[in-house]
Structure 1
Amino acid sequence: MRRGFWPLALALGAGGCVSYPAVPPPSGAVPAADGPGPATISVMTYNIEGLTWPARTGRRPSLEAITAEFARMEQAGELPDVIVFQEAFSTSALRTASATPHPHFALGPRARTRSGLPRTRDPVLRKRNVLNGEWGIRFMGSGLAVASRYPITAAFSQAYGPTSCAGLDCLANKGILLVRIAVPGYADPFEIATTHMNSQGASKAPPEKHLAAHNAQSAELAAFLDRVSTIASPLIIAGDFNMRRSPARLDAFETQNGYQLARRYCLEAREDPALPSCDIRMSFDGDEPWLDTQDLQIYDNGATIALRPMRIEAWFDGPDSGGRLSDHDAYVVTYAIEPAPAG
């Protein structure tokens, strides 16, 4: 899937604003830590319901409570190493995303960021319904952000195409954000990406149109990773994929993006004693639990580093885990960092 890394200058020059750095380049090389690196890396994805007025009102107290809980988690040694956010649209939501205890931060596409991609040829998507928000104007950015315990050495982002959306989702500049982080003790950077894809019924678009938009975004995500991601790096993609109860969306997505689902591995590990175990600390029912949620994590090994989900859990889903402060739970996966299999 991933062809390898283009140098940043080439990535910036290809197709106008196809990708751009969301943070300034580091002032110098990140020194390697003495001794071995950490044995795990943990990633939280959290849609914080940070919509602006008039879509949402009264969110500030809950967003401030999320910020306070992040601080408490860090003091208790519970805060994941990387947090990726969706729907960080409002001022309060952006403040929450940028106010984690982690020192490194990157933002995704803004409202005026152009994707540089051509308009789709799909006749279903080319026909706009202006009464349903398909105006060709983005009033909000992507709402994407990443906060990291480890230094961010590069960041790339891309908005989805100008007609690769359906219904009310077209009012936001949804897209993709990928960062490279330097984990002490490892020569190759780790890549963490996040996205927020077109919603289903909430978009108020007819099913055939919001499915076409999602399929177009799946293809654009795959092409973005093909351009920007380097095969040497382990990759984790976490976000709001909006594929709940939609096998058609999942099938099209996996055709384009053939990475491993963390939940699928954990289900296989539960049923196959030959596989290293995965500690499941959340609701996990049925044969395809990944279709029970919008929030997913997928991963791919690097050239020398392999990733293996060893624990999955929900946070902000009740009084014992931060309280329910958004219309989404936070979803956390802890990955074991292992040598990549030979060959």
Structure 2
Amino acid sequence: MSSPSYDIELDHSATWPGPAGPLSILSYNIKGLPWPIAFGRKEANSAIGQRLAAMRSSNAQPRIVLLQEAFGDIANKLGKDGGYRFVVNGPQFASSHEAQPLGRSFAKGAQWIKGEGAGSLIDSGLAILSDYPIIKVERYAFPEGACAGYDCLAAKGVIVAWIDVPGAGEPIAIVNAHLNSRGAAHVTSERADRAYSWQVAAVREFLSKALPNDTPVIFGGDFNTGDVSIRVASVAQPLLHGAQVDGLRTVLAKGNVVSGSQDEARRIVVRNKDKILFRGGRRVGLLPERAWVPFPLATQEPLSDHAGFVIDFSLE
């Protein structure tokens, strides 16, 4: 079987905007799964890196990139290809200090053949690339047993990077997370949803301790919420303390999605998995000004099974 070939240029349905603002954020689940779980990822990852480099050559590159499923050394390579000076990776291993975080009955139902009970075999796949200095980093991996199905093979969790954004006057906390899938976990929906609800509560608690209430925050990632009522209910309470806002929904409502990206942006919102949330701080506010989709799904050869989208923020 021959490897797929990918074009590094955007297709005709999306156009690159003018120069990116000082705070532009890309969130992208790149499907960086190793062979033989996924096929053709080496070629796709190379094309992603080339596209990031092409955006930089036009001064349209996102200043900060949030990657999910960038397992192994993929993030470092993409950072190098895309010209990012700073790269930090998420958790490397799931913690094992809490043997039965979801209770005894859930633990007894673990299926080794579905990836449960063996511990994390690969890292979290989370990474943050930045043009700006990263001042501080905190990581949190979901403990062993706080997951369902094949998701347990990765040390999923959260990474927070405090980044020195020009003009902000204080570091802005950038959060990246990946929560338990549903169908892709290949266990019962009830089991996957129980793990999901536990993880949401754990992320909320972790961020409440890591982020003072007056800290400006941008929180992106693969939330895997979808239209499942129990998952929607789990995230109904804000993950960020205070007035959490959905950036892409806000920009769509204002009509500020770049021409050619509107349909992709609507599909991202309807799918309800990939998000960029934000919260202003006491001394600096964040205002989403523009969005576009440099890594669309509606192409002949999409580079992932998720779209990668950018939001440009202004500082108030």
- If the TM-score is normalised by the length of the shorter chain, which range does it land in? 0.7 to 0.9
Matched AA of 1:53: W
Please name the residue that 1:302 is paired with. Answer: 281
- Deviation by residue 1:251-303 (Cα, 9 ceiling, x = unmatched): 21132525211133235445xxxxxxx436332788x9634242111111111
Aligned-partner Cα distance in 1 for 2:81–2:206: 28
Determine if the alignment matches structure 1 residue 265 to structure 2 residue 250.
Answer: yes
Secondary structure in structure 2 of the residue aligned to 1:308:
strand
Asked whether the equivalents of residues 242 and 295 of structure 1 are also in contact (C-alpha less than 8 Å), the reply is: yes
Please name the residue that 2:3 is paired with. Answer: none
CA RMSD in angstroms comes to 2.6
Q: Runs of 5+ in structure 2 lacking a partner? A: 1-19
- The count of corresponding residues between Structure 1 and Structure 2 is 291
Please name the residue that 1:131 is paired with. Answer: 113
Aligned counterpart in structure 2 of residue 282 of structure 1, from 262, 277, 292 = 262
For residues 138-157 of structure 1, what are the structure 2 equivalents within 5 Å? 138-157=120-139
Asked whether the equivalents of residues 100 and 147 of structure 1 are also in contact (C-alpha less than 8 Å), the reply is: no
Asked whether the equivalents of residues 238 and 297 of structure 1 are also in contact (C-alpha less than 8 Å), the reply is: yes
Secondary structure in structure 2 of the residue aligned to 1:331:
strand
Q: Runs of 5+ in structure 1 lacking a partner? A: 1-37, 271-277, 339-343
Aligned-partner Cα distance in 1 for 2:55–2:216: 26
Q: TM-score, normalised by structure 2?
A: 0.83
- Deviation by residue 1:70-99 (Cα, 9 ceiling, x = unmatched): 111001011011001111114456522554
Aligned-partner Cα distance in 1 for 2:275–2:168: 26
Aligned-partner Cα distance in 2 for 1:176–1:114: 13
Larger mean CA deviation between 300-309 and 85-94 belongs to 85-94
Structure 1 residues 315 and 117, CA, compared in 2 at 3 Å: closer, same or farther?
Answer: farther
Aligned-partner Cα distance in 2 for 1:152–1:113: 24
Asked whether the equivalents of residues 165 and 198 of structure 1 are also in contact (C-alpha less than 8 Å), the reply is: yes
Q: CA deviation at 1:205?
A: 1.2
Matched AA of 1:169: D
Asked whether the equivalents of residues 172 and 217 of structure 2 are also in contact (C-alpha less than 8 Å), the reply is: yes
Q: CA deviation at 1:178?
A: 0.6
Asked whether the equivalents of residues 167 and 205 of structure 1 are also in contact (C-alpha less than 8 Å), the reply is: yes
Q: TM-score, normalised by structure 1?
A: 0.77
- Deviation by residue 1:205-248 (Cα, 9 ceiling, x = unmatched): 11111111111110111111111113332101111111123243
Determine if the alignment matches structure 1 residue 75 to structure 2 residue 53.
Answer: no
Structure 1 residues 209 and 256, CA, compared in 2 at 3 Å: closer, same or farther?
Answer: farther
Aligned-partner Cα distance in 2 for 1:132–1:63: 27
Please name the residue that 2:171 is paired with. Answer: 189
Q: CA deviation at 1:164?
A: 1.4
Asked whether the equivalents of residues 162 and 171 of structure 2 are also in contact (C-alpha less than 8 Å), the reply is: yes
Secondary structure in structure 2 of the residue aligned to 1:279:
coil
- Deviation by residue 1:102-147 (Cα, 9 ceiling, x = unmatched): 101111001x352755632445632312221112311100001100
